[in-house]
Each structure stands twice: as structure tokens, then as C-alpha cells.
Amino acid sequence: MRIHKISVTNLFGIFNHSIPLNLDERITIIHGPNGFGKTILLRMLNGLFNFRYLELVTIPFTEFRVEFDEGTQLVVTQSIDKNPKAKKHPATLQLLNAKSSKSDKFQLIDVASDSKRFKQISQVIDSIIPEINRINYTTWLHLQTNEQLSFEDVIARFGQFFPEELGKIAPDPSWLIDVKKSEVLNVNKNLIRIAQIML
């Protein structure tokens, strides 16, 4: 079981990318202009396979899909609404099984509609990241650069320092644990390692 294709739809509400991996030579080069989402795509891959769901769902996209060589797919879907006051639907992770029509679903963390969860994560931000100070409920000041950072900005820059348990609202279902324990993590460990190094 090896990852053979990674794709994202409506990244930042603009970009659609599809990256087939070269399984024979085991080298795939991802290239493109700055700002088109190359590093973000690797961050999403890292978030999915290393239980960093909080980092994953704060990135705006409609669908993130990881396809395996035997036909199984992991698909993360979420909605992007241009109206910031609109209710955001939680991200859902789905396993599409090539051997049956059955699919399994798992709801990832939904910070936007969970004020208690947002408050908990904000308190962690305040306690473990000394280089930023909170300005108001959803904005922080980066002391070194004088930048104002939104919640999403803070997660994107500092999410790797958060305790793993803050990245999800419930234990992973057994089917997801099986996928992550399977050969995909052994065969594709270099790809995941590259994603971690680039972040």
C-alpha cells in the first residue's frame, strides 16, 4: 500500500493541484512559482498522517485527497464560505475503499463552531508561545516582527509545538489507525519526512 497521488481542490479558494508520485524511481519533483501552495500541500500531508488535524483544517480548501496504489483513498472535505459570518461546516475525513462500496467517515476538529475548544487552544497558545501576545479574542501580535496574526496564522506557524491531543476532538477510529499503521507509513516514510523537514 503506497501513496501514488496527492491532490487538493480549491486551495485558498483558487488553486487545484494534482501530483502523481513516481513510484518506480521513487523521486517526485514538485515545482512551481512561489505562493502556489507547494509547501502548504506538504503541510497538509504531514497534518493528516501525524495527527496534526488542527494545522490541517485551518488551511482553506474544499477537498484534500490521498490515493493509494491499490485503489483506497483518504479524502478530507470542508466548506469554504467567502462570508466570514457564515457558519463553517466541520472538516470530514473519509476512507474510500476500493474493495467495497462502503465508506467510513470521521469528523475532524471543528474549532470554528466550538467556543470552548477555541478558548482551550487559545490558552495553550498564550502559555507556550512567548514570542506572541494576544491583542484580542482572535488576534495575536508577533513581538519580533510586529505582525498581527490571526488564529489560523498562529496555527500555521506554531502548530507543531502544540500537544498532539489538541489536534483532534476524539480518538481516531480503528479504520484510520489501521491505515496509519499499514505499509503506507513504512513505504512512504521518506515522503512524510520530507513534509516535516520543509515545515
Average pLDDT value for the chain: 75
**C-alpha pair distances (Å), 3 with each of 16, 110, 153, 158:** 19, 27, 29, 27
Q: How far is CA 40 from CA 8, 28, 115, in A?
A: 10, 17, 26
Residues 143, 176: Cα–Cα separation, whole Å: 39
Task: Output the pTM of the full model.
Answer: 0.67
pLDDT of residue 141: 93
Q: For residues 57 and 132, which has the higher predicted lDDT (pLDDT)?
A: 132
Helix residue spans in the chain (DSSP H): 38-49, 53-57, 115-128, 151-158, 174-181, 183-187, 189-198
Q: How many CB atoms lie within 10 A of CB 179?
A: 20
pLDDT of residue 195: 47
Q: What is the pLDDT of residue 65?
A: 92
Write the pLDDT tens digit of every residue in 72-129: 888 888 876 555 544 455 677 787 776 655 567 777 765 555 677 777 778 888 888 8
